[in-house]
């Protein structure tokens, strides 16, 4: 038991000590070159592992474990920093989905293979040789990455890694979405570590499983995370779908409560654990994509490293929390309930801070059941900086269709008489809608247009329906001049939007009726062109 605990400490310590240095290297040097060098170091370390297994020297092997985690501390910022340099923004969720699937499938295979290798081979040096061979394959795979330039070749190294950490942490606080993403990732690893400890005790004491069979429970959770990561990448459909974050959090909370029930069989416990992992994959994929996408290029490696360091702080904190919960008398099942309660409270708080995440969650369901949206020329949308969307207006759900098609927050300009309807107003205020009077009120109109102008100058996306009202005929109406007044003298782009096929849906005025006609087909096909 002492050596198991010592191995855990030695594995965690380099992540805390060297992760920020890994972030510096990922920023200062080419990430491709760093990946090749780190993978070569892995061959050396695995070869040392084979030597340690041959000698049977436990202290030598503990040193190898320390080197393994040091190598991983350097590789983490490189691996995740490579994605935004190799993929377009619209592919980030897809890429993270595959990374998540591959990572957790590898964890499953490694967990299972380790136990069987121990039983199969009398000479454990064979296991070490297999690991060295796999490391060699990884080295040659890293050499196939295309050449990349350093993000910030002038970056200076800071010996005080805590000072570097604090600087990057302060940077993330200026961007609410980025900061919450970093905190969300930290919480993910905190929950994962807490669940891991609870599963170990629950499997032994409640389900009466051997250590090998308990490891199968871990594999079930890892498989769930991998499958959820892949599904999240698929559902995101060429954008960062952060509406999946509250869905994933609600799933984690719900199945934590399920795991907290007494008298569960091994089958039910495994199913609930796998589903918790599945929703964990939904939760973490868009968070990772946001952490990779939102920082400046020259800070990306350091931000990813800072997030990695915080993840290990979360893992260590989970051990302290688990010890505290057991000291105050909570059963292992009640620990799962604790996770469910904390996750639910955190989800409500984050949705209150970022209400458009909840709207996007609803849109995930709507756009995969009621509507089938085809987005055309999304690449015409700038990924950063202010801009004005100018759209036609065919139905009451046009704003929602645009929300579903754009992965940036949108400030809509809405008629004030609709904005003031009591059941619309709370949601409209939460989404920072800009109300504009429909009657002749020059002062209020000027203020509304000035507000829209300020938002664009601040780097936000503003959308105006240029016709000023919903079409009653399905034809384009005369444009009003509000968008011209907003953009007068500005250099920010204007992006025209065409909502095609919306006329005829139950939310349009076709046949002179809204909501009182049957949909022509489900899901209803719509095209959004930029």
Domain that holds residue 189: 2-365
Report the CATH number that the domain containing residue 439 is assigned in CATH. 3.40.1130.10
Indicate whether 353 and 377 sit together in one domain.
Answer: no
Count of C-beta atoms within a 10 Å radius of residue 508: 21
Indicate whether 339 and 477 sit together in one domain.
Answer: no
Q: Which residue has the tokens 């469910």?
A: 340
Indicate whether 158 and 216 sit together in one domain.
Answer: yes
Indicate whether 425 and 354 sit together in one domain.
Answer: no
Q: What is the pLDDT of residue 184?
A: 92
Indicate whether 399 and 330 sit together in one domain.
Answer: no
The domain boundary, picked from 299, 331, 365, lies at 365
**94 alpha-carbon distance from chain centroid:** 11
Report the CATH number that the domain containing residue 165 is assigned in CATH. 1.20.1250.20
Q: Is the peptide bond prior to 523 cis by the omega test (within 30 degrees of 0)? A: yes
Indicate whether 310 and 380 sit together in one domain.
Answer: no
Q: What is the pLDDT of residue 71?
A: 94
Whole-number Å distance between alpha carbons of 257 and 346: 15
What's the CA angle centered on 137, arms 53 and 84, to 5 degrees?
120
Indicate whether 322 and 399 sit together in one domain.
Answer: no
Whole-number Å distance between alpha carbons of 114 and 110: 6
Whole-number Å distance between alpha carbons of 295 and 128: 40
> Rounded to whole angstroms, what are the CA distances from 304 to 19, 279, 422?
9, 23, 43
Q: Which residue has the tokens 């809405």?
A: 414
Does residue 95 contact residue 38 with C-beta atoms inside 8 Å? Answer: no
Q: What is the pLDDT of residue 191?
A: 93
Indicate whether 359 and 390 sit together in one domain.
Answer: no
Indicate whether 166 and 280 sit together in one domain.
Answer: yes
> What angle, 0 to 180 degrees and rounded to 10, lies between the N-to-C axes of helices 266-293 and 244-259?
150
What tens-digit pLDDT sequence spans the chain (530 residues)? 466 557 767 888 888 888 889 889 999 999 999 999 999 999 999 999 889 888 888 889 899 999 999 999 999 889 988 988 898 877 888 888 888 788 878 877 787 777 677 666 666 778 888 889 999 999 999 999 999 999 888 888 888 888 888 988 999 998 888 999 999 999 999 998 899 888 888 888 888 887 667 777 888 888 898 899 888 888 876 777 778 898 899 999 999 999 999 888 999 999 999 999 999 999 998 898 888 888 887 888 888 888 888 988 888 888 888 889 988 999 989 999 999 999 999 988 888 877 777 777 777 677 667 788 888 988 888 878 899 999 988 888 888 888 888 878 899 998 888 888 888 888 788 788 999 887 767 788 888 889 999 999 999 999 998 887 787 777 766 777 778 888 888 899 999 999 998 887 888 878 777 776 777 787 888 999 99
Whole-number Å distance between alpha carbons of 8 and 490: 57
Strands 387-391 and 494-500: parallel
Count of C-beta atoms within a 10 Å radius of residue 478: 7
> Rounded to whole angstroms, what are the CA distances from 463 to 149, 294, 298?
37, 22, 31
Per DSSP, helices labelled H in 206-265 are 211-236, 244-259
Tokens of 71: 């190598």
Strand-pair partners of 42:
none
Q: What is the pLDDT of residue 133?
A: 92
Q: What is the pLDDT of residue 478?
A: 72
The domain boundary, picked from 343, 365, 387, lies at 365
> Rounded to whole angstroms, what are the CA distances from 112 to 131, 143, 217, 219?
14, 29, 11, 8
Q: What is the pLDDT of residue 485?
A: 86
Query: Which string of b and e fits 120-130 if b means at least 16 CB within 10 Å?
Result: eeeebbebbbe
Q: What is the pLDDT of residue 340?
A: 95
The structure's pTM equals 0.76
Q: Within 13 Å and on the Cβ side, how many CA atoms surround 166?
A: 5
Q: What is the pLDDT of residue 527?
A: 92
DSSP-derived secondary structure letter, 516: S
Tokens of 315: 């893992």
The domain boundary, picked from 365, 399, 428, lies at 365
Domain count within the chain: 2
Indicate whether 333 and 407 sit together in one domain.
Answer: no
What's the CA angle centered on 347, arms 79 and 366, to 5 degrees?
85
Indicate whether 329 and 441 sit together in one domain.
Answer: no
Q: What is the pLDDT of residue 67?
A: 94
Indicate whether 429 and 335 sit together in one domain.
Answer: no
């Amino acid at each position: 038991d002492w050596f198991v605990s010592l191995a855990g400490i030695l594995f965690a310590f380099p992540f805390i000590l060297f992760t920020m240095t890994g972030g510096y290297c990922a920023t200062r040097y080419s990430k491709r070159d760093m990946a090749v060098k780190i993978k070569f170091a892995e061959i050396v370390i695995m070869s040392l592992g084979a030597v340690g297994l041959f000698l049977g020297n436990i202290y030598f092997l503990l040193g190898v474990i320390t080197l393994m985690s040091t190598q991983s501390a350097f590789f983490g910022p490189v691996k995740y920093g490579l994605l935004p340099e190799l993929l377009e923004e619209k592919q980030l969720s897809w890429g993270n989905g595959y990374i998540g699937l591959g990572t957790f499938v590898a964890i499953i295979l490694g967990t299972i293979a380790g136990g069987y290798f121990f039983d199969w081979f009398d000479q454990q040096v064979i296991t070490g040789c297999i690991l060295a061979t796999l490391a060699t394959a990884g080295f040659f795979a890293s050499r196939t990455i295309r050449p990349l330039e350093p993000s910030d070749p002038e970056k200076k190294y800071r010996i005080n890694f805590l000072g570097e950490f604090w600087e990057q942490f302060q940077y993330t606080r200026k961007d609410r979405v980025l900061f919450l993403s970093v905190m969300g990732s930290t919480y993910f690893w905190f929950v994962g570590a807490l669940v891991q400890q609870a599963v170990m005790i629950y499997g032994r004491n409640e389900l009466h499983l051997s250590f090998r069979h308990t490891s199968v429970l871990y594999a079930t959770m890892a498989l769930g995370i991998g499958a959820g990561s892949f599904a999240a990448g698929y559902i995101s459909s060429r954008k960062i779908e952060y509406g999946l974050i509250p869905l994933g959090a609600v799933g984690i909370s719900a199945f934590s409560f399920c795991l907290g029930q007494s008298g569960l069989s091994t089958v039910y416990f495994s199913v609930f654990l796998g589903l918790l992992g599945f929703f964990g994959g939904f939760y973490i994929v868009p968070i990772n994509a946001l952490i990779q996408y939102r920082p400046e290029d020259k800070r990306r490696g350091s931000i990813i490293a800072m997030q990695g360091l915080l993840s290990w702080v979360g893992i260590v904190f989970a051990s302290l929390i688990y010890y505290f919960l057991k000291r105050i008398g909570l059963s292992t099942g009640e620990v799962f309930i604790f996770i469910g309660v904390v996750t639910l409270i955190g989800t409500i708080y984050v949705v209150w801070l970022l209400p458009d995440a909840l709207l996007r969650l609803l849109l995930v369901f709507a756009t995969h059941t009621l509507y089938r949206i085809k987005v055309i020329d999304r690449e015409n949308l700038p990924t950063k900086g202010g801009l004005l969307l100018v759209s036609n207006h065919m139905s009451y759900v046009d704003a929602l269709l645009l929300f579903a098609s754009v992965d940036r927050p949108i400030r809509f300009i809405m008629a004030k008489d609709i904005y003031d309807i009591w059941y619309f107003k709370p949601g409209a205020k939460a989404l920072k809608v800009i109300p504009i009077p429909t009657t002749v009120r020059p002062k209020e109109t000027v203020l509304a247009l000035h507000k829209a102008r300020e938002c664009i100058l601040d780097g936000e996306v503003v959308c105006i329906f240029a016709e000023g009202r919903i079409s009653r005929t399905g034809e384009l109406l005369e444009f009003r001049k509000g968008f011209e007044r907003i953009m007068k003298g500005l250099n920010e782009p204007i992006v025209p939007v065409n909502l095609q096929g919306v006329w005829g849906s139950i939310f349009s005025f076709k046949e002179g009726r809204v909501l009182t006609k049957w949909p022509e087909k489900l899901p209803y096909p719509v095209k959004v062109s930029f």
